[in-house]
Copies of this chain bind each other. A is one copy, B any other.
Amino acid sequence: MTTFPPPDFSDPEFTAFPDAEFAPAPTDGVLPDGFFSTTNLPTFVKVRGQWIAPREPRMDSGLVLDRDGVIWTREGRRIQRGDLVAVGDKEDGSQGIFVQTHLVPPGADADAFAFMSSEVSREKPIDYSTMARLLVDERERGGYPVWVTGPALVHSRARSDMSWFISQGFVGALLAGNAVAVHDIEASIYGTTLGMTNTGEITQGGHGLHMRAINRVRAAGSIANAVAQGIITDGIMYSCVKHEIPFVLTGSIRDDGPLPGVITDMLQAQDAMRAHTIKATMAIMIATALHAIATGNMLPAFVQLPDGAMRELPTICVDSSEFVVSKLKDRGTHQAFGVVTNAQDFMHILRIYVERELESRAATAQHATSGAATP
């Protein structure tokens, strides 16, 4: 348990600081403009040269000086007209108010007390504009974005959005497990995933449909053959085959089938994945703990540019729960940027933002061209 003394106020640093200023509350329940808003940390206020600790400390309150020279920590609603309230917005003593930061966790910055400082939270805004810009930048400069996806992407019916990204050149390589391909192919052949329809209904006898889908691809000999024979007519695997985007399907202990082409030996599978991660210039991991951590293990946190400089390798990790992102960081992928949402919604909105970014760049380019053409 951390223990520490109050500051040594005889130190010249403190004697040089001015007294705090106080202003009267304009009316009951209202603090004066510029009031000092408290934290939950040890706080001292300079009054006539003395540093006084306010009583009954708590955060989000004002500091009221009473006639006896006592300072009280008081909620705004309890302020009465004319109460003398400390004003200021500095916590370093320069305005006569000093906040001790011994209890702030190591690593927090100078402005020690802050809200919303967690790394990953469903309560943080998702910056789709930046992600869209990064993706379009990558395509423009010939980058190699590696996408890593889990089966929830398919169950939740983000198949068509994923196919769009593949067909439009935003995917360097797709890394996934057997299940992603199985559900995607079941959806193409039967319209269901594990027997569940697009609207979440369970179908009669549906529990066998993924096995029938696998069996048909096994009979065809490969996913590419099944596409060529018209068995698979849309979706993620179809788009990879049609657009010649490389994919690695790695096996796992929970696989059904597996589909032909799934690499069942984990050492071979790691080598196959790493052939792509060493080329990666960006990584997007969606709704998979297993494959995200596997990829994170192999992925450098940086890309070396032609001029020798380093830049961060943008790594986006999307999951319904903060836990997967924290786990990824706990396995060393500190550069991961967490997005806490549903895979279906993420894909849908990201596509809309990428489409907007493309339109905006096209408009700018046309403007520049037509402008250049103007004599």
Q: Give residues in A with beta carbon < 8 Å to B.
A: 1-6, 26-27, 29-31, 35-37, 39-42, 53, 56-60, 75-77, 89, 100, 102-109, 111, 113-127, 130, 134, 151-152, 155-157, 177, 193-196, 198-200, 202, 204-208, 210-212, 214-215, 218-219, 250-258, 264-267, 269-270, 273-274, 277-278, 289-291, 293-294, 297-302, 304-305, 308-312, 314, 320-323, 326-327, 329-335, 340-346, 348-349, 352
Contact = CB atoms under 8 A, between A and B. Distances in A.
A363 to B, nearest CB: 21
Given A58-B277, A59-B207, A76-B214, 5 more contacts: A40-B332, A58-B299, A122-B156, A127-B200, A342-B345
B218 A76 contact: yes
Query: Which A-B residue pairs are the 9 nearest by beta carbons?
Result: A107-B107, A37-B208, A341-B342, A345-B345, A254-B294, A251-B266, A115-B194, A253-B294, A116-B196
A126 B152 CA distance: 12
A207 B103 contact: no
Nearest to A250: B253
A300 B58 contact: yes
Contacts of A75: 270
Contacts of A298: 58
Given A3-B309, A310-B6, A290 B254 contact: yes
A156 B265 contact: no
A210 B76 CA distance: 12
Contacts of A3: 305, 309-312
Contact of A57 (B199, B300, B340): B300
Nearest to A198: B125
Given A30-B219, A76-B218, A340-B320, A103 B334 contact: yes
Contacts of A202: 114-117
B254 A253 contact: no
A300 B40 contact: yes
